[in-house]
Amino acid sequence: MTIKQDLLNLFNTKFANYKGIDVNIFGLPVFKNKNSKSIKNAYYSLCDEGYLSTEDKNIILTKKGQKYLKDKLLSQKIFEFSYPQNAPKNLLVMYDIPEDKKPERDWFRRHLHKFGYIMIQRSVWVGPSPLPKEFMDYVKKIGLKDNLKTFKLEKGYDGR
């Protein structure tokens, strides 16, 4: 085998697993289950959509690509907070988060569930109050605050 073949094999050989993704010795993802045509199509699609560009044979993440990644990473933040098991469900949360913010909407829904909220109707949840301040500050930071309303209930919701 030539040095070129050895290097190419290094690029396509799993060396480790980083955050659930197989990576090669250089830390680059290994796409074992994807054919090269699919990878090329995805690359050209990212270029056509303005997320990647090439300069002097280098692949560059554009400003649009950087913004996209920043926005998506923001929506992945995790808050650890727990209410007592018997905390009254006295806060009603209603939201209407648009389809173009689907990752943020899913993130928001996961956190409501993690905080002990239950869905009583689509986009209507009830649970203990108040929602953590850090969580609400973050909701405002990622632009969801205007898409939700909260109402304090006079007495706790018991599901009947």
What was the pLDDT predicted at 112? Answer: 93
**Count of Cβ atoms closer than 10 Å to residue 114 Cβ:** 13
Nearest to 116 by CA among 95, 90, 139: 90
pTM confidence score: 0.59
Domain end position, chosen among 26, 47, 74: 74
Residues 141 and 96 in one domain: yes
Q: In the structure encoding, which two tokens stand for residue 11, read together?
A: 């690029």
Residues 50 and 95 in one domain: no
**37 within some domain:** yes
CA distance 2 to 41: 29
Query: Domain residues for 42?
Result: 3-74
Q: What are phi and psi of 144, to 5 degrees?
A: -105, -15
Tally of domains within the chain: 2
CA distance 100 to 118: 24
In tens, the pLDDT along 25-82 reads 777 777 777 777 877 888 888 889 998 888 888 888 899 888 877 777 766 678 888 8
